[in-house]
Amino acid sequence: MKESYLEIVELDNGDIVLRPVSEDGEETLPLATLNISDETKSYLKDSYFELAKCMFHAGIDFAYSEEAFFDEGFEHSEEMEELRPKILH
């Protein structure tokens, strides 16, 4: 199975996105976008990007948890672990 890597990047417009890493160097569409307000960025100084990483990690952890699939009747398996994307920072 082909591994998929994700990256967390701040765009020129200030949005922070989670997106697949492109193999051919072209920009890929984001899977999720965070917009952290200027007020929050000012309060957190340079730590706002760490906040974004924590938020994306929490979302990924939930998405690949048993709780996310509980209502659908999915069972946790090694196959599900193989689907978990690798994250670059």
pLDDT in tens, 12-27: 999 999 999 887 777 7
Whether residue 35 has pLDDT greater than 50:
yes
pLDDT at residue 73 is higher than 80: no
Domain range list for the chain: 5-88
Residue 26's region, left for phi above 0, alpha for psi from -120 to 50, else beta, is: beta
Count of positions (residues) in the chain:
89
pLDDT band for 66, please (50, 70, 90 cuts). Answer: low
* Nearest-angstrom CA–CA distance, 7 and 32: 11
5-18 per-residue burial string, b: 16 or more CB within 10 A, e: under 16: ebebbeeeeeebbb
- Count of CB atoms within 10 A of residue 56's CB? 20
